[in-house]
Structure 1
Amino acid sequence: MTVCSVGLVIIEIFSSAPLILGFLRLRCLLKFPFIYSLLLAQCSRKSRLVAPQIEVPKQQVFKSYKDKVVYILQRTIDDLDEPSSDLKWCLHVIKNDFLQISNSILNSNNIGGKARRFSKTQRLLTFDESVETGVLNSWVAQCLSGITNAVTIRDYSSSSQVLGPSLSVVPAPILRQKSGNNNSEHMSLEKDHRPHKDIVQFEALINSNNFNAFELHSVTKKNSLYFMMQYVYQKFDFGEQLRFDSSKYQTLSLKIQASYRDNDPFVTYHTSTHAADVVQSVYYYMLCAGVQDMCKATTFDLAALFLASAAHDVDHPGNNNMFETKTHSKLATLYNDIGVLEMHHAASFFFMLEDDASNIFKNFSGEEFNRMRKYVVDNILFTDMSRHFAFLNEIKAMNMLDNFDPAGKQKPDIMKALVHAADIGNQGRPFDICKTWALKILSEFFQQGDKERQLGLDITMLCDRKTTNVGRSQISFIDFVVCPYFEAIASILPGMYYAVDQMKVNKENWAQSIEEYERLREEKGNENI
């Protein structure tokens, strides 16, 4: 057919006979219906491929942009004969506020060539080939039960490793069986001689000042915050005592953890690991330093403390309030330059509760919710460093009160003081742990200073990598900020003196490192920090 068409075109070009030309023109006219039918079919095909146009009813009222997007996506899916699984997955992600899931959980490097997807049967983040929430909850239960050698996992350095083969549970496995050839899996296990770590060890570490959040983060496959939130939930029986639905609490825990920017290179300190560390610190203050007994803290008080601790830095951008204000960021505009990030953290937490799947306060009365909301908001807002010295003076004044009552009128202020103490109290850890935290916060500071330099702004104190000596900066922080604060707290809560003693030890260690850090500053400008 193609050859004939080409031949006729050649004849038309070179022939001048009227009869032949007339035949060829008549042939062209006869082709028009055929061409028209082809165009019609093509247009019809394209219209089937294009998603239907969804018109949002004008009378429809949406509380947020998210609700409108969810509505449009849902209508689109409903109107399609065979909506793709990816489109349904997108709706699930947006509907459940999982847009900021960290790559440590949702890794782009699919294992075994299989794309990870959210479970269809749960409103939780569970993957076929990752750490399941049930597994983590089992670890917590094993910790609290005191059963030794019950659960062991390998301490892999890469989060993309499959947890399945490395998990050993007695008496029965708690991970779903994986499809595929198991023989190669067993062979790889025989060759793998990496050391095991016993998850049960963290029962002892959680109850000590030697708690290392980085180690827990590694062992739990970057789920340290979720682990700590589940730990306190089970430890204090929030489900029974406060009527928290366990499924909603799990979903909220995952959302809080996912809201930290753990994979942002500019956020090296204010991560979910830091939040897990703060939760443990508050836990340690309450139980091991005797604060719970002295303040007669109720389960309600503890829940407010732990929730505020977990959420106190959600969605932190790695800059401080001064940078947000100087650059006139959207957050600074939204909160009128006042406690910008702390306002954002508190608001972000309560936005999560708008989704029924994570609204743990659903069974609360209006009065209970308002009391909890004030408790959590106050605890988060008082982590603002601009309030630090005024708050320090308030704590000092408490000890002078004739009617000082840590279990009464002063209890809310003491609770706020403890969350702030946990937030800045890394210098009260053993030196190897506090040093790691110090280098991470300075890394954030220096990256902010680099941005300020590029923008032509004045560089914030301690943010200039070219002039800051790491050792001296930490000694100054201990002398003028954190140690006086802990001394003031210890004057009313004597069980906190352990941190003051540790800070004095750490100060001596930092003093011994000044010359080495000065050399690094002069030679490399702290470029490796």
Structure 2
Amino acid sequence: MHTQRNYDLQRRGDPMGIALIWSLVVMLVRWMFSKRRGAISYDSSDQTALYIRMLGACVIFKQLFSRDVRVRSQVGFEPERRGSHPYLCVDFRTLHSRSENARPVPGRRVHRLFSFQRHLHSSRRLHSATTWPYNPLHILDEDYLGQAKCMLAKVGSWNFDIFLFDRLTNGNSLVTLTFHLLNQYGLIELFQLDMVKLRQFIVMVQEDYHSQNPYHNAVHAADVTQAMYCYLKEPKLAKSLTSCDILLGLLAAATHDLDHPGVNQPFLIKTNHYLAALYRNTSVLENHHWRSAVGLLRETGLFSHLPAEDGLNMERQLGSLILATDISRQNEYLSKFRRHLDQDDLCLGNASHRHFILQMALKCADICNPCRPWELSKQWSEKVTEEFFQQGNIEKRHKLEVSLLCDSQSNTVGDIQIGFMTYVVEPLFSEWARFSDTRLSQTMLGHLGLNKASWSGLRASGSLEEPEPEPDPDPPPPPAPGLAQEPQPQKIPPPEP
């Protein structure tokens, strides 16, 4: 009788009957999302809950459940599920091109299809970010950010505390920050990006960063994105970059370490990882980050409403930016940058020169931690050293040659940071200051000098607190009683390329 009454009420349009049906739909949504790794919380305190409920189940389920096609690492160790071990048997996203015979999925009607190349020269709106009539869209989630929204009001400050912001957004710093910046620049409306696809893309990007990595995780990606925004605001860039440049710069910053396994390229090469063979031991991780980002772009169809040629051009330029973050090519990019500055021939009206400056800006953003205030810089230094030492422990456990800087017995945080600042960070940021001699550049160099002096002082006083090395679960058996153990020659690891 009760069921029949609800059915009759529903047929008459009774609100109580509709509410009952809607509650059943929400319960179904919760159950289906809980079956997927990285599912979005439906708790009322979650800032994304209202937005996802608004989308409904029928729009995005098919896309969400068809993803996560993975292949296993070929390092020869016992296979494990992704997320259960961050280093050895890492699952990586494979990029599947669309079938040539597959029919295109009809998208929403677009009133104006445009070509980037054509409109870069014909539309004033695309020539300068400073001339846009900023009119950001009203996003529902922004009403529920609370303290995080107050922090976003100062997102252009170099003292921006990304760790605090990540806590205030319940671990969604990359999603919240990237969506906010794209909206603030008016890029969502300008490029007619579908809100659902964009949100899905950014959420999937954040999910594909490994949260168990001490350093290369979504918080690092958010930190790099915030630094990139600071550089995009510099006068030389702000008056020269096009909207396409800004969109690529922000997307490259958010995806530059996508699906990072927490180990470096030499580790993948010496363990005969399939990615090393796929990319012929050249920019292995950077190529994988790029291809993973392209895979998500195609999976969500974020640029599907644009002409195919423009979409491919965006993917190629995104790859060029991400590949520039390869630290082994640091001297190559730095020499080219220095040569341009010496000859004073950089012309930001030239598309190739603007792209090169974007590459240098992303390189600076990627390694800007030593240029942050001490309280932030020290945290990043400890996290990256912890990740190094975890790799070293894995190499020892499996009788592999320990990579440079990864041996916790012969390296300290202070030694690693002082060397990194001296030989990598300082030369790059000195040249950046020559290109953009602003208050921000001087602030970064000032923090760099103070942080280097702080690490030197801690090392001299012997008060460095090193991260505790990960305990070895499989220690070698002790020598038999009464038998003398012969000393083993110590191997000196070759310098990392």
* Count of residues paired in the alignment: 360
2:444 is the counterpart of 1:499: yes
Contact 1:285 1:291 in 2 (8 A): no
Q: Which residue of 1 aligns with 2:317?
A: 375
1:414 alignment partner AA: I
- Tell me, what secondary structure is at the counterpart of 2:245? helix
* TM-score with structure 1 setting the length: 0.63
Q: Which residue of 2 aligns with 1:320?
A: 264
Q: 1:526 to 1:519 in 2, by over 3 A?
A: farther
Please report the RMSD computed on the Cα atoms of aligned residues, expressed in angstroms: 3.1
2:291 is the counterpart of 1:354: no
Q: Given the alignment, which residue of 174, 183, 186 partners 1:237? A: 186
Q: Could you tell me how far 1:435 is from its partner in structure 2? A: 0.6
2:182 is the counterpart of 1:222: no
Q: 1:300 to 1:152 in 2, by over 3 A?
A: closer
Q: Which residue of 1 aligns with 2:129?
A: none
* TM-score with structure 2 setting the length: 0.66
Q: Which has the higher helix share?
A: 1
With a CA cutoff of 8 Å and minimum separation of 6, indicate the structure with the bigger relative contact order.
2
1:430-509 map, 5 Å: 430-495=373-438, 496-509=441-454
Q: Which residue of 1 aligns with 2:308?
A: 366
Q: Could you tell me how far 1:455 is from its partner in structure 2? A: 2.0
Q: Could you tell me how far 1:501 is from its partner in structure 2? A: 1.8
1:254 alignment partner AA: V
Q: Which residue of 1 aligns with 2:365?
A: 422
Q: Which residue of 2 aligns with 1:392?
A: 334
1:453 alignment partner AA: K
Q: Alpha-carbon deviations, 1:321-370, whole Å to 9, x = none?
A: 11111111122122221111111111011111222xx2221122233223
Q: Which residue of 2 aligns with 1:514?
A: 459
- Tell me, what secondary structure is at the counterpart of 1:399? helix
Q: Which residue of 2 aligns with 1:120?
A: 57
Q: 1:401 to 1:274 in 2, by over 3 A?
A: same
Which of the two has higher C-alpha Rg? Answer: 1
Aligned-residue sequence identity (percent) comes to 27
Contact 2:227 2:365 in 1 (8 A): yes
Q: 1:516 to 1:458 in 2, by over 3 A?
A: farther
Q: Given the alignment, which residue of 373, 381, 406 partners 2:348? A: 406
1:293 alignment partner AA: A
Structure 1 residues not aligned, in runs of 5+ = 1-84, 127-135, 143-150, 154-197
2:426 alignment partner AA: C
2:229 is the counterpart of 1:280: no
Q: Which residue of 2 aligns with 1:72?
A: none
Q: Which residue of 2 aligns with 1:332?
A: 276
Contact 2:414 2:458 in 1 (8 A): yes
Q: Which residue of 2 aligns with 1:89?
A: 32
1:213 alignment partner AA: I
Q: Which residue of 1 aligns with 2:235?
A: 290
Q: Could you tell me how far 1:291 is from its partner in structure 2? A: 4.0
Q: Could you tell me how far 1:240 is from its partner in structure 2? A: 2.0
Q: Which residue of 2 aligns with 1:199?
A: 148
Measure, in 2, the Cα distance between the counterparts of 1:332 and 1:430.
36
1:1-400 map, 5 Å: 89=32, 99=37, 101=38, 105=40, 120-123=57-60, 137-138=139-140, 140=142, 153=146, 198-262=147-211, 264=212, 267-287=213-233, 289-293=234-238, 296-355=240-299, 358-400=300-342
Q: Could you tell me how far 1:211 is from its partner in structure 2? A: 1.0
Q: 1:378 to 1:466 in 2, by over 3 A?
A: same
Q: Could you tell me how far 1:505 is from its partner in structure 2? A: 1.3
Structure 2 residues not aligned, in runs of 5+ = 1-27, 47-51, 65-137, 472-497
- Tell me, what secondary structure is at the counterpart of 2:259? coil
Contact 2:156 2:230 in 1 (8 A): yes
Measure, in 1, the Cα distance between the counterparts of 2:443 and 2:295.
37
Contact 2:29 2:57 in 1 (8 A): no
- Tell me, what secondary structure is at the counterpart of 1:494? coil
Measure, in 2, the Cα distance between the counterparts of 1:518 and 1:325.
36
Q: 1:488 to 1:268 in 2, by over 3 A?
A: same
Q: Which residue of 1 aligns with 2:10?
A: none
Measure, in 2, the Cα distance between the counterparts of 1:517 and 1:316.
33
Contact 2:209 2:217 in 1 (8 A): yes
Q: Alpha-carbon deviations, 1:148-194, whole Å to 9, x = none?
A: xxx565xxxxxxxxxxxxxxxxxxxxxxxxxxxxxxxxxxxxxxxxx
Measure, in 2, the Cα distance between the counterparts of 1:247 and 1:403.
43
Higher deviation after alignment, 338-347 or 327-336: 327-336
Contact 1:226 1:253 in 2 (8 A): yes
Q: Alpha-carbon deviations, 1:436-460, whole Å to 9, x = none?
A: 1111111110000111112222211
Q: Which residue of 2 aligns with 1:195?
A: none
Q: 1:465 to 1:137 in 2, by over 3 A?
A: farther
Contact 1:139 1:199 in 2 (8 A): no
Measure, in 1, the Cα distance between the counterparts of 2:289 and 2:320.
12
Measure, in 1, the Cα distance between the counterparts of 2:42 and 2:386.
25
- Tell me, what secondary structure is at the counterpart of 2:60? coil
Q: Could you tell me how far 1:221 is from its partner in structure 2? A: 0.6
Q: Alpha-carbon deviations, 1:422-475, whole Å to 9, x = none?
A: 111111110100111111111110000111112222211211111112112211
Q: 1:251 to 1:525 in 2, by over 3 A?
A: closer
Measure, in 1, the Cα distance between the counterparts of 2:348 and 2:32.
50
Q: 1:216 to 1:137 in 2, by over 3 A?
A: farther
